[in-house]
Structure formats: C-alpha cells, structure tokens
Amino acid sequence: MISIPVLNRIVAHLDLDYFYAQVEEVDDESLKDTPVLVCGVSGRTEESGVVSTSNYKAREYGIKSGMPIALAKRRLNGIQASFIRMDHGKYEMYSDRVMEVLRGEVDVLEQAGIDEAFFDVTKRAAGDYDVAAASALQLKTKILREEKLTCSIGIGPNKVVAKIASDFKKPNGLTVVRIDQALAFLSPMSIDRIYGVGPKTTKLLEENGIATIHELASATTERLEDLFGKKLAVYLHNASNGTDDELVIDRGGVSQLSRMITLKHDTDDSGQIVAELLPAIRDVHEKLVSKSLFFRNVSAIGILKDLSIHTRSKTLETPTNDYSVLEKEVRELLPALLHGVGDLRRVGVRISDFQDMMDQRSLTEFTS
Ligand code: TTP
Ligand code: CA
C-alpha cells in the first residue's frame, strides 16, 4: 500500500471589524473617534428600529447590535455621535472587494457571511503555523492598504478553532492556536462560542448541566445523541474536542442572487406587482437552495420609466432558506418601496448576506 503523507490542516477565519460602521468611517473620515451607530430603521419614525452595529467608541457606552435606536440615543445623551441609516448595497460592494483580495491569496476560500470567510492555507503554508501567521499578517496589511479596513484573523487546525480565534482579540487581532493548544484554548470557553451553536442548542445543553466547552467535551456521545440526534452529536463532540473536520468549501463566491422582470404595464399596484413577481421570487429561491445557502438580507428593487432605481431592504434576525419567509418579506417591502415613487416599469428581488449553514446542526438551530 502506498501511504501519502498528510499535512496537518491549517484553517483561518477572517472577520472584518465593526464592519458596517467601519465602512461608514472609511467613507467619511471625520466620523472616526466619535461613536458611530449604523441603524436599520424599520418603522415610520427615525427612532423605530435597531442598531445593526456600532464602532468600538460607541461600544464603550454600552451600545450593542440589536439595541433599539431609542435606547442607544438615551445612552449617548449629550455625546456627539452619528446615527447612520444602513446602506446594505454599499457594504456588499466593500465585502465583494475584500473577498476578491482574499481569493487571490489563499488556497480555498469559503465566504461565510458579508464580513467573514474561512480559508484553507495548508498547502500555501506547507503545514507550518509560523508561515500561516506571517501570510495572515500580510493579508491584513493588504486589506488595510487597498480598502482601508481592519480585520481580525484566527488560525487553527479546523474551522471551529479558527472562528473562535478570530474573535479572541478584536479589533485588528491575529490569534494563532496550534493543533496541540486547541483543547486548552477551547476548554474554558462557553458552548455558544462554537460555530453553529445558537440560543436553542445552548439552552438545551445548559439545562443538562453543560455550560463550557470542557463540559461538552466530557459528555458521552450517547448522551449527546439522545439530546440532539447523531449528526449534531458528532459535530458537538468533535468541535468541543478540537477535532472538527468540516472542510473549507469554495462555493464560487456567490454574494447575492437576484432576478428582475419587466411588468406587463407600468403600475404602482402592489398586488399586481407581486402576482407578476412570484415566478422570479421562486426562481431566486430555487437557486438559493441549489447552492445550499441561507440568506439574511432581502431587497425589493423597482425601476421607473425614467430608469431611476429604488430599493427597500430588510435584514432578518436569523438566516433562512424558507420560501414562505422570502415571499412574505417581499410582499411587505413592496408597499414601502412604492410609497411616493409612482408607477414601476421593472421590478426585482435580491437576496444576499449569505450564511453557509447547510448541515443538520444549523437546521436544528435555525428552523426548530
Ligand atoms: P459581526 O461580525 O457580528 O459584527 P461587527 O463586524 O459589526 O463587529 P465585530 O466583528 O468587530 O465584533 O456582524 C457583521 C455585520 O453584520 C455588522 O457590521 C452589521 C451586521 N449585523 C446586523 O445587521 N445585526 C446584528 O445583530 C449583527 C450582530 C450584525
Ligand atoms: Ca465582524
């Protein structure tokens, strides 16, 4: 039998720092050093909605993602701060450019969200962590030079470790966890730090006396199987023991899926528009499912006779691949899009901010 030497895998995870707010700082340098809050305005008034993210200056005042805008305003009372309306298209443009930079520098790239990606550098670094760390530093410098954005990178023997490592020192961090350090690194952390372990899994584990990754690693697979079924149990066992073996998969760099149609007659009748748009919504959904992706952002796009383009977007709390959610969101976005713009000539749907969550653990997490 021929034995082929196998290099220990080296996987990296890159996450852009305070992404939406950092993009706003790049666009307007005068914002730097004061609190910047990017807000998803959802209702009639400027105050109905939540903070999508904020820069680290704002976080010093206790500002957090998901916080109601009104509460954030109270926290920053009397302080000079900028509340900026979310501009998803702009963040996607920056995201695409960063991913392009990455693609040229790594073996395999897997975009995992608008501001994060895994990449495998095993071959490029010849299995050597020092080489991987040096090239990660070069990558950080390149992204800073070309896009003026800082990021944090984690390097480890697998995706679970790399993801936790990128979050370990933020912002502008680089954390390297070698294969022999993985278990000690993971052990004291809380279980919800594991990629794919969200509120529901966390709750069930905690109800069973498992709160740290060490406790999870000590649980028998039989016990985990009783709680979660085989697939998730195996994942949790491997993840907590630092032996997760999920591959980094290049999904072709799809960052958005969209379909536009031309209406039979120019109209501002939302019911008529939805009826004509349904096949396009179904089409986009089919593509999403065929690529095993989940989306978080959905936009309705309208083009008028004068060719001006109008969009309305919504970011969901959790990623989904559910058709009924997609259709419902488009139905709800259309009246807002139509408000005050007049008859549409063309209309479309776009989904983006994809998360790679194709396996059972994520389905359990996000759909049960
Ligand atoms: P995160 O990577 O979770 O957060 P962040 O980049 O703002 O901050 P950091 O990584 O430095 O901790 O999310 C990426 C982007 O996703 C974020 O910039 C805005 C968006 N987002 C929301 O719109 N709502 C949310 O609740 C969260 C957590 C993020
Ligand atoms: Ca981030």
- The atom number, within ligand 1, closest to the CA of 20 reads 18
How much is the pLDDT for 36? 98
Whole-number Å distance, alpha carbon 14 to ligand 2 midpoint, is 9
pLDDT reported for residue 41? 78
Alpha-carbon span 237 to 301, nearest angstrom: 44
Q: Report strand pairing: 82-85 vs 36-41.
A: parallel
Q: Which ligand is nearest to the CA of 66?
A: 1
Q: What is the pLDDT of residues 253-264, one digit of tens each?
A: 677 888 889 999
Query: How many other CB atoms sit within 10 Å of the CB of residue 77?
Result: 8
Task: Specify the amino acid at residue 230.
Answer: K
Upper half-sphere CA count for residue 4 (Cβ side, 13 Å): 3
Assess whether pLDDT exceeds 70 at residue 216: yes
Q: Which two tokens stand for residue 258?
A: 């969209």
Give strand pairing partners of 36: 82
Give the span between the Cα atoms of 115 and 92, in whole angstroms: 9
pLDDT at 364: 44
Phi, psi of 110 (to 5 degrees): -125, 105
Instruction: Evaluate if residue 3 carries a pLDDT over 60.
Output: no
CA of 311 to the centre of ligand 1 (A): 22
Q: Which atom of ligand 1 has the smallest separation from the CA of 86? A: 23
Q: How far is the CA of 22 from the centre of ligand 2 (A)?
A: 10
Question: CB under 8 Å to 280, separation ≥6 — which residues?
Answer: 259, 260, 261, 348, 349
Residue 306: per-residue pLDDT? 86
Q: Which ligand 1 atom is the nearest neighbour of the CA of 91?
A: 18
Report the pLDDT averaged over residues 39-43.
78
| Cα–Cα distance for residue pair 368/117, rounded to 1 Å | 26
The predicted pLDDT at position 93 comes to: 85
Of 116, 246, 327, 365, which one is the catalytic site residue? 116
Name residue 209's amino acid. G
**Would residue 215 show up in a list of annotated catalytic residues for this protein?**
no
94 Cβ below 6 A of ligand 1: no
pLDDT value at 356 more than 70: no
Q: Does ligand 1 come within 6 angstroms of the Cβ of 54?
A: no
3-state SS, residue 22: helix
* 97 Cβ closer than 6 Å to some ligand 1 atom: no
Query: Helix, strand, coil proportions of the chain in percent (round to 5)?
Result: 40, 25, 35
